[in-house]
């Protein structure tokens, strides 16, 4: 069984719309770019963007898509917003 430290529980917020938010449990050892690709696949987004931006709302951090989630100070309960589409 995986250690609880390998995953984090976050709330995903779509462009500031509180009606379009969901709670997710995600692995920390995944790049931001891969995380967005997974979200696209899960939610059926066919149009891919060249550059993505995710923001940790409660910490004011913009996530670089080349880094892994574990490289940021993201913890359980953080709110991550998908910016612009």
- Give the total number of structural domains in the chain: 1
Per-residue burial over 45-72, b if 16 or more Cβ lie within 10 Å, else e, is eeeeeeebbbbbeeeeeebeeeebbeeb
Give the pTM: 0.78
Sequential pLDDT tens for the chain (85 residues)? 455 589 999 999 876 667 778 999 999 999 998 998 888 787 666 555 556 688 999 999 999 888 999 999 899 999 999 886 5
Q: Could you tell me the CATH number of the domain that includes residue 48?
A: 3.10.20.90
Structural domain boundaries enclosing 24: 4-82
pLDDT computed for residue 77 by the predictor: 96
Please tell me the predicted confidence (pLDDT) of residue 1: 45
């Amino acid at each position: 069984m995986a250690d609880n430290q390998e995953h984090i529980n976050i709330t995903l917020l779509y462009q500031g719309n509180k009606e379009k938010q969901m709670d997710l449990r995600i692995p920390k050892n995944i790049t931001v770019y891969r995380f967005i690709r997974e979200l696209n696949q899960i939610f059926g987004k066919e149009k891919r963007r060249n550059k993505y931006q995710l923001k940790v709302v409660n910490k004011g951090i913009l996530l670089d898509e080349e880094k892994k989630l574990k490289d940021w100070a993201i913890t359980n309960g953080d709110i991550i917003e998908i910016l612009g589409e």
